[in-house]
């Protein structure tokens, strides 16, 4: 069977798997697959069922990451690792993360149908808890796999259950005691490269009319989940000069960050910031009370480590200046960070060439979002990322990836493996 014919035969199976994942996560108006909980477990079980049908080796690590391996003829050769994640944000869409695992499985299935035999092991990974919404820390599974999970991570509590990350890992059959900084959990042996496919989180490919992009890099980020501003509660008639208004301090910080973004954009330096939480204390705020407390979150991201560090300094300067000007105190709270992930130039070129051989048009594009791939790139493992066209962004119920575009990613991976991993 030719590779195009095998991919065509695989397409309905891949679409059906996406439908089953949607049913697992159904949570109107969107999809919720909780990290380290029944729905993420069910998604992993579905992947295992497909792997068993394909005759793949199945393994899990201490953090409950799943590895599905097609054995190569030379088990000592550096393996090719592909993968993504199954967890979602609350009331998100069906494709963020999941499309990457399904595309990798489709690529392997199609290659097997052609009679192809890989020289090195090809392993598909489904990493746990990529989304930061669950424990205030993103990319948890891949960080644990690479031995770079922060020491305090296992004590973080999931907001909806109150249980720690260690508790949830143990409940899913993992071994939190075996997770430690510097201790890798990945399958034994060297890794040639890591490849990931993920829906795009901006409308760039919709705008360009293309199904795929080959990512040039993944931004690093700095996050504070709960920055607390403390001023002083007061009567609404209090003159401005006497106020220590925490809400106005928050608004001033927001405006200053927006001005910073405009300045950086004008200078051609790509970045983004997002304030997702922005509120007074709902148990105390009143229409006739000046807010003495205010809380907000921030995600600050850029594509260059030095640029990200400079932006972090500018952000802290904004906090200090606002605190002094408004007469408030600002506690930034816990800080988390994800590394900048430069995509390997040779992989960018070979993935684009593989897509072209399959008749798939691509474009180079920086990823607007963080992904598990960033951890592998930061660890020095050559990394490639395909971005799949997706309407309406992600982290919302309106994700609208076409299954044919996901199969374009699968075709690109299959052709790349055919050319680069032959026995």
Domains belonging to the chain, first-starting first, are 3-219+341-420 (3.40.630.10), 220-338 (3.30.70.360)
Rounded Cα distance, 117 and 358, in Å:
20
Output DSSP code: residue 292. S
Q: Indicate the pLDDT class of residue 151, thresholds 50, 70 and 90.
A: confident
96 marked among binding-site residues? yes
85 marked among binding-site residues? yes
10 marked among binding-site residues? no
Q: Indicate the pLDDT class of residue 284, thresholds 50, 70 and 90.
A: confident
Lowest mean pLDDT among 161-165, 182-186, 393-397: 393-397
Residues counted in the chain? 423
* Average pLDDT score, the chain: 96
Residue 339 has pLDDT above 90, yes or no: no
The pLDDT score that the predictor gives to residue 270 is: 93
The pLDDT score that the predictor gives to residue 423 is: 67
Residue 216 has pLDDT above 70, yes or no: yes
Dihedral of alpha carbons 365, 399, 100, 4, sign? negative
The pLDDT score that the predictor gives to residue 159 is: 83
Confidence (pTM): 0.89
The answer to whether the CB of 106 falls within 8 A of the CB of 13 is yes
Q: What percent of the chain has pLDDT over 90?
A: 93
Residue 364 has pLDDT above 90, yes or no: yes
The pLDDT score that the predictor gives to residue 276 is: 92
285 marked among binding-site residues? no
Q: Indicate the pLDDT class of residue 150, thresholds 50, 70 and 90.
A: very high
Q: Indicate the pLDDT class of residue 11, thresholds 50, 70 and 90.
A: very high
The pLDDT score that the predictor gives to residue 240 is: 95
Nearest to 386 by CA among 156, 205, 191: 205
My answer on whether omega of the bond before 406 falls inside 30° of 0, hence cis, is no
Q: Indicate the pLDDT class of residue 189, thresholds 50, 70 and 90.
A: very high
């Amino acid at each position: 069977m030719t590779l195009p014919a095998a991919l065509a035969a695989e397409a309905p199976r891949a679409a059906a798997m996406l439908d089953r994942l949607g049913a697992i996560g159904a949570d109107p108006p969107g999809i919720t697959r909780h990290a380290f909980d029944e729905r993420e477990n069910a998604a992993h079980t579905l992947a295992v069922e497909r792997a068993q049908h394909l005759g793949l080796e199945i393994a899990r690590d201490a953090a409950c990451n799943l590895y599905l391996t097609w054995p190569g003829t030379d088990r000592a050769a550096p393996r090719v690792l592909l993968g993504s994640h199954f967890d979602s944000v609350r009331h998100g869409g069906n494709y963020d993360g999941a499309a990457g695992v399904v595309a990798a499985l489709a690529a392997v299935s199609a290659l097997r149908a052609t009679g192809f035999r890989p020289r090195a092991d090809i392993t598909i990974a489904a990493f746990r808890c990529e989304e930061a919404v669950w424990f205030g820390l993103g990319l948890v599974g891949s960080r644990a796999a690479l031995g770079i999970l922060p020491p305090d991570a296992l004590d973080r509590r999931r907001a909806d259950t109150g249980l720690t990350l260690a508790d949830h890992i143990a409940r899913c059959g993992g071994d939190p005691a075996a997770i430690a900084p510097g201790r890798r959990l990945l399958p034994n042996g060297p890794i040639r490269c890591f490849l990931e496919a993920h829906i795009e989180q901006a409308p760039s490919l919709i705008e360009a009319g293309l199904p795929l992009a080959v990512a040039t890099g993944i931004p690093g980020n700095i996050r504070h989940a709960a920055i607390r501003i403390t001023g002083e509660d007061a009567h609404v008639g209090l003159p401005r000069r006497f106020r220590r208004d925490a809400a106005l301090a928050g608004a001033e910080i927001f405006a200053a960050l927006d001005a910073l973004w405009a300045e950086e954009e004008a200078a051609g330096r790509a970045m983004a910031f997002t304030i997702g939480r922005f509120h007074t204390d709902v148990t105390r705020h009143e229409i006739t009370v000046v807010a003495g407390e205010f809380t907000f979150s921030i995600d600050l991201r850029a594509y260059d480590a030095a640029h990200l560090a400079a932006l972090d300094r500018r952000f802290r300067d904004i906090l200090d200046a606002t605190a002094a000007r408004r007469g408030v105190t600002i506690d930034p709270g816990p800080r988390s960070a994800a590394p900048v992930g430069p995509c390997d130039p040779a992989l960018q070129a070979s993935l684009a060439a593989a897509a072209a051989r399959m008749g798939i048009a691509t474009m180079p594009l920086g990823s607007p979002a963080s992904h598990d791939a960033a951890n592998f790139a930061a660890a020095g493992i050559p990394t490639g990322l395909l971005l799949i066209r997706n309407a309406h962004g992600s982290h919302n119920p309106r994700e609208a990836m076409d299954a044919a575009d996901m199969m374009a990613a699968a075709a690109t991976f299959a052709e790349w493996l055919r050319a680069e991993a032959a026995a």
